[in-house]
Chains A and B, each alone.
Chain A
Amino acid sequence: MATTITKTETLVGKRIRRREDPRLITGTACYLDDIKIPGMHHACIVRSTHAAAKIKGISSQAASELPGVVAIFTGADIAKLGAVPCAASLPGLRVPHHHLLAQDRVYFVGHPIAVVVATDRYIARDAADLVEVDYDVLPAVADPEKAIAAGAPPVHPEWPDNVAFTFHQEGGDTEQAFRDAEIVVKQRITSQRLIPTAMETRGVVAEWRPGDKAMTLWSSTQIPHLMRTMVAGILGMNENLLRVITPEVGGGFGSKLNVYAEEALMGFVAMKIGKPVKWVESRRENFTCTIHGRGHVDYFELAAKRDGTMLGLKLKLIQDLGAYHQLLTPAIPTLSVLMMPGLYRFKNISAEIVGAFTNCVPTDAYRGAGRPEATHGIERMVDILAAELKMDPAEIRLKNFVGNDEFPFPTATGLMYDSGNYAAPLHQALETVSYESLRKEQTAARAAGKLMGIGMSTYGEICAMGPSQALPAGGWESATVKVEPTGKVTVLTGCSPHGQGEETTFAQVAADELGCDIDDVMVIHGDTAIVQYGIGTFGSRGTAVGGAALFYALQDLKAKMKKFGAMLLESENVVFGGGACVDEATGKSVSFAEMATAAYHAKKLPPNTEPGLVATHFWEPPNFTFPFGAHIVVTEVDRETGAIDIKRYVAVDDCGKILNPLIVDGQVHGGVAQGLGQALWEEAVYDENGQLVSGELTDYAIPRAPYMPWIESSHTTTPSPVNPLGVKGVGEAGTIGCSPAVVNSVVDALSPLGVRHIDMPLTPQKIWNLIQQGGRA
Chain B
Amino acid sequence: MESIDLDKYKEAWKKEPIFEEKNLTKKEITQFIRSSSKSIQSQFKSALILDIVLKSLLSVAVIYLLLFAKGSGLSFTLLTFLIILISGALLQFGTLKKLSLVKFGGSIIKNLQDYLGFYHIEYRKSILINASTATMVFLTGSYFYFIMKYVQVPDLEWDDYTVFGIGSLLSFGISFFAQNHQFRFNIGQLEKLMKEADEGSLKEEHIQNYHSNRKRWIWIFAILGIVGIALLMYLLFT
Pairing of A with B: no
